[in-house]
Amino acid sequence: MATAVSSVQEVCAAAKRAARALAQADTAVKHAALEAIAAALEARVGEILEANERDMQAGRDAELGDALLDRLRLDEGRVLAIARAVREIVALADPVGEVIDGRRLPNGLDVRKVLVPLGVVAVVYEARPNVTIDAAALCLKSGNAIVLRGSSSAAHSGAVLAGIAAEAAVAAGLPEGSIGLVSGGGREELAELATQTGTVDLIVPRGGEGLKQALQAVATVPVIYAASGNCHVYVEASAELEMAQAIVLNAKTQRPGVCNAAETLLVHERVAAEFLPRVLRALAHAGVAIRGDERTLALAGPLWGPDGQHGERAGHANPSPAAPGRPLLEIAPAGEEDWASEYLAPVIAVRVVDDTEQAIEHIARYGSGHSEAIVTRDLAAARAFQLGVDAACVYVNASTRFTDGGEFGMGAEIGNSTQKLHARGPIGLRELCTFKYLIEGDGHVRA
């Protein structure tokens, strides 16, 4: 079981021992372990759902909110989807040993640059049980041992998933300690994990800014931050407005509680008068609360209220009670905090901008470097946006919701890095590798 070792130090030491064997494991052995994990998940759905319901009940009692509860919730379909994601990772090429560069030097030495596992990867995550398996599968396939540290809100789900995966992996031939779990502690435990220099090679935190700040204060182990996603959609003057509306709605409403959901809509002033009333009405009817700048409030006009009649003027909440199936319309002035917010909820900030340069400047000031999108038919505007926006993923005429390891053909992901060194964007198999140089000679000595 993943929980058999009690202390952080012991879990990490066991992972370090396992990592040495994992680095040399044949692809076939790793694949057998992943297939065993997928089969075990399918066979033990009932056990998983029972544990998850305990977390869900605790979350409801703590009034976590719909978005967080959705991230926490498992059902049979979601468990089977997690198992399918494991098998998708099996189908991917094994990155370990891949030659990424090679040449013969003038002195006759043969030099190859090859991918190798990082060693021990610790993943710290909040309220997402599926990360337990996604992260474990990616690490095992890339030859790494993994130490998991979930949040208290998903304690029961994480424990049963990690236990199932660890048992299946060991039974299939991987070493004990390949999957470790630390749980039950608070910030002291997190600080201890973040300072395991010598055993942990990398920490990937997957959570909000609070988790990021907690690690920044104490970590001595290298960290790749899979952090917040304050993402934007910019509707440029030449945009096809039906397309723009579909992209905005998808980016905001398809799953608002995730890091690649759009939090701010920017609209070029030349199309704002035509576009804003229609898109704001559509967002409101989808249950999205709107925070607008002065120009947005002025242009929005009377919007349809929940009873099917025209609501109050923009800038005010419709005071009438919501009719069945129709949310209360809410449009309020945006403050500085709205532009900087990752809502992770059905709320969006809206601003009218003068031009593409101002949109880029807004994103540079408030964006988190995650995912940004422009809707345009102007190639020059698209190119300016691609070059001017500093983010891991920059979209032209597509929703930000595609920033995902599975959507990118990576099988799954541990998180989305908003940093620039080593890994950026979805963290998949190759991002869990480093490299070494292999040099072969024939009695060479340096003069």
Report pLDDT for 206.
84
For range 18-32, the mean pLDDT: 97
Within 62-154, where are the H helices?
66-72, 76-90, 129-141
Give ∠ CA 187-191-196 in degrees, rounded to 5.
Answer: 150
Q: Are the C-beta atoms of 40 and 228 separated by less than 8 Å?
A: no
Worst-scoring range by mean pLDDT, 17-21, 148-152, 357-361, 408-412?
408-412
The secondary structure of residue 330, as a DSSP letter, is B
Q: Which of 197, 204, 199, 194 is nearest to 224 (CA)?
A: 204
Q: Are 443 and 107 in contact (CB under 8 A)?
A: no
Q: Residue 3 pLDDT > 90, yes or no?
A: no
What was the pLDDT predicted at 271? 98
> ∠ CA(289), CA(290), CA(295), 5° rounding?
170
Distance, CA of 222 to CA of 422 (rounded, Å) = 11
Q: Dump the DSSP string for 226-254.
A: B----EEEEE-TT--HHHHHHHHHHHHHS
Asked if residue 256 has pLDDT above 70, the reply is yes
Mean pLDDT of 193-207: 93
Across the range 427-435, mean pLDDT stands at 94
pLDDT class of 301 with cuts at 50, 70, 90: low
- What does the pLDDT read at residue 216? 87
Question: Within 10 A of 324 (CB to CB), how many other CB atoms are there?
Answer: 5
Which residue type does 336 have? E
Q: What whole-number percentage of the chain has pLDDT above 70?
A: 91
Q: At what angle do helices 45-61 and 76-90 cross, to 10 degrees?
A: 120
The CATH 3.40.309.10 portion of the chain extends over: 231-402
**pTM (predicted TM-score):** 0.83
Res. 302 pLDDT band, cuts 50 70 90: low
Query: Given this model, what pLDDT does residue 418 score?
Result: 87
Residue 136's SS3 state is helix
pLDDT attached to residue 306: 41
CA-to-CA distance for 422 and 140, rounded, in angstroms? 19
pLDDT for the residue numbered 321? 39
Residues carrying CATH 3.40.605.10, the chain: 8-226+414-440
Distance between CA atoms of 152 and 158, rounded to whole angstroms? 9
Using CA atoms, how far apart are residues 145 and 122, in angstroms rounded to an integer?
Answer: 9
Tell me how crowded residue 279 is: count the other CB atoms within 10 A of its CB. 26
Structure tokens at 2: 């993943």
Is 305 a residue whose pLDDT tops 70? no
Question: Which of 4-13, 333-342, 346-355, 402-411 bottoms out in mean pLDDT, i.e. has the lowest?
Answer: 4-13
What's the residue count for the chain? 447
Topology (CATH level 3) of domain 8-226+414-440: Aldehyde Dehydrogenase; Chain A, domain 1 (3.40.605)
**Residue 10: what pLDDT?**
95
The C-alpha torsion from 115 through 421 and 202 to 145, rounded to 10°, is: -30
Q: Is the pLDDT of residue 308 over 60?
A: no
- In this prediction, residue 209 carries a pLDDT of 75
Query: Domain 231-402, what fold?
Result: Aldehyde Dehydrogenase; Chain A, domain 2 (3.40.309)
**What percent of the chain is modeled with pLDDT above 90?**
76
pLDDT at 84 over 60: yes
Q: How does residue 40 score in pLDDT terms, banded at 50, 70 and 90?
A: very high
Q: How confident is the model at residue 303 (pLDDT cuts 50, 70, 90)?
A: low
Indicate if the pLDDT at residue 289 is higher than 70: yes
Which pLDDT score is estimated for 316?
A: 41
The pLDDT of residue 184: 61
Q: What are phi and psi of 424, to 5 degrees?
A: -145, 135
How much is the average pLDDT of 246-258? 95
Which DSSP category does 352 fall into?
E
What mean pLDDT is predicted for residues 274-302? 91
